[in-house]
Structure 1
Amino acid sequence: MGVVGRKTRRFSFPLLLLNFFVVLLLQRAAVLVSGTRLNYTKYRQVSILRLERIQKHLENINKPPVLTIQSPDGDIIDCVHKRKQPALDHPLLKNHKIQKAPIMPKGITRNNEKGRGRDAWEYWQTWHRNGTRCPKGTVPIRRSTVHDVLRAKSLYHFGKKQPRMIPLSRRIDAPDVVTGNGHEHAIAYTGSSSEVYGARATMNVWDPSVQEVNEFSLSQIWVLSGSFDGSDLNSIEAGWQVSPELYGDSRPRLFTYWTSDSYQATGCYNLLCAGFVQTHNRIAIGAAISPVSSYAATQYDITILIWKDPKVGNWWMSFGDNTLVGYWPAELFTHLAQHGTMVEWGGEVVNTRANGQHTSTHMGSGHFAGDGFGKASYFRNLEIVDSDNSLSPVHNILTLAENTNCYDIRSSYNNQWGTYFYYGGPGNNPECL
């Protein structure tokens, strides 16, 4: 069933069997991917040569586990010894010593996971439901599969964002969020002239509808530095996303991303390449978040903090009640090895214009900002970390949405939520074509 480039190439019988079973599995993908609105993996023939390459890549990123956990949503979570995680395969991290803990921003106390603090995140991921946890000394990593790779445009593109094209007509004072390759945004952002050492916000989580397999919908924080119209943009990103191509379903998932060259060759989502160093044994990056917000009902939100450790220089991430997840080593970056120059908060989608019109992929809840609390998505309590390692409320922000007929944003301020904004939209509608 496979296509062989050379007649003289010899393949083992087990690999031929594997190829056969992969095709059978692809035919049954709709059964394997349960609880989704679309059949994201479709039948396709796989050449043996390509399959060999995929298997070799999976062997590199799926490290041998100490313990394997089957999640109720179908994910497989491998508990990998922290010294064996993919991050340390990076050439720049050959002699890297895993940092145990950073200096927290002033006024922030690290969650010691005793008492009530642990409840803030303990049941936020679906794989927690069966009661099994990764043992100390290991980190949970969502196992990547052949299906995951085959949904990508190519093996090279697996786990990566498409670069955003930047037209010459973009506003000089605006961030790199103009439409390119179908990327659309509704964001708040800081000016680009100050030094930034981190950011924090609380965002509510939804399960937006995504029309096409190669589209996504996400809500995140960006910490940026470098040239927005060149090839040296550094970006650190974290939030939640729905990405059928990446995960094979429509569940919202905790994610991270990084790049040091404008999304060209460096960086990836989660732990799908060497880079991000995970330190926590009970939070799996790339795992599904549950429960999620419901329209005109209970709202569920998460808090994410990203900051530069003032002593070592690594960029750390905490989740929920100041629980340390891991960090991006300073060695990965050029400009961010020093500091950031801009922070963005908000939503992003990819619109492929399937059938020649704007798709109906939702941003956030799928409702416009004007619908307000319980209906629209929000970010609240926007803060930045300054050069003194102090968290400061953000009072002056700019907002941007490329096409307000499809997705929009409205910002405001009150004593309880500080600076906040509602954002999102349904995509295709009579005014968004």
Structure 2
Amino acid sequence: MLNEDALFYSRVLTELTLSFHIIYATIGVGVPLMIMIAQWVGIKKNDEHYILLARRWTRGFVITVAVGVVTGTAIGLQLSLLWPNFMELAGNVIALPLFMETFAFFFEAIFLGIYLYTWDRFENQRKHLLLLIPVAIGASFSAVFITIVNAFMNAPQGFDMVNGELVNINPILAMFNPAMPTKAAHVVASAFMTSAFILASIAGFRLLKGSDHIYHRKALYLTMKLGLIFSIATAVIGDFSGKYLAEYQPEKLAAAEWHFETEAEAPLILYGTLDNGEVKYAFKIPKALSILAHGTPSAEVTGLDQFSEDEIPPLYIHYLFDIMVTIGVWMMVLSFIFWVGSKRAWSFIHARWFRWLIVLGGPLSILGIEAGWWLAEVGRQPWILRGVMRTAEAATTSGQVDLMLLLFAGLYVVLGIGSVVILSRMFKSNPVERELADRKAEKGGVVQ
């Protein structure tokens, strides 16, 4: 029997957990690659600053990994506690990617520990760099395997439905469902992009606070350049995601674009408001939705008129789409201007106002990631397993979910504040200038 309160609190708690976890998960996926690139550049250029970048980023990364483990464990726990009917139905199908995600994380963690505790123990730094390859691979594949579970929920396949049960399960076919390629690629690319802009935000903030050391300027240039590369990659993959939705989840695309009637040469609607079903104050790009959906301006795009009312996702996901796209395009433009300005010696990229834009880019990128995940999850409603099980059918009937919400919310507050305090104190007590001086003294060389 459906418990409306249990369903509501289950959805709120799941959204809260995913929203908090995605911050640390994104950093956990993206930062290992940033560390590897920084150390590789340092070795290639024989530049101590880039080597130190990798070293300091690794210390901070370990803290975020620890918090990510806690929140990731909470997600696994909540899947069973809050959505028992879903786990009973689909548990056998998603067990393989969940296990592989755990294996990928342990693979990453083992080599991260070895990498962290073997600094300065290799005469050839290239051998030490090799330890980062399994760390970066493990981090990325951890994201891929957990995203496969989400992709299966959007495009379930690899089983037969008999008397309300999933039988004849083919877990490999279920894993390689139609949603998997674009969703996994988009998650990984956006994690790389967001991590680069977060690190750029930190470097920009240090420069604004007067620490105009060449170390921070090199960090800013490297991360903004990487952010530009991965923001372009994310946009390209996003285009493929639109074409996937048009073919496999047309109701989600139509709801996100406020595309109410099936028509050819469909415009792309950005921003605006809804007034009794009428779109007002929107910015429309002629034929762009047809291009996004099918690659040609004359293509017909399925509208919401083709679906029953109880299968249409909430229309507010349009605003989530606007936030995600606007932030992505803004960060791409900002990083492009910075890159071109660095090449052509434009002075304004060193101005305080421009550096503040870079600093704000970190939080904005996190907001963009959040909006993208909310769009992905809310846009699947009313289904938890599209076409098979509705969200209301999957939820627990327990009357204690509201208490769980309060307890987990308290846990996330402690973890969030604690991680920020620890990271701040870690780097304040050991500023880069002091560390460079210490390494200069150790090596008896010159570090500028």
- For normalisation by structure 2, the TM-score amounts to 0.23
Please identify which structure carries the higher helix content. 2
Bigger Rg, structure 1 or 2:
2
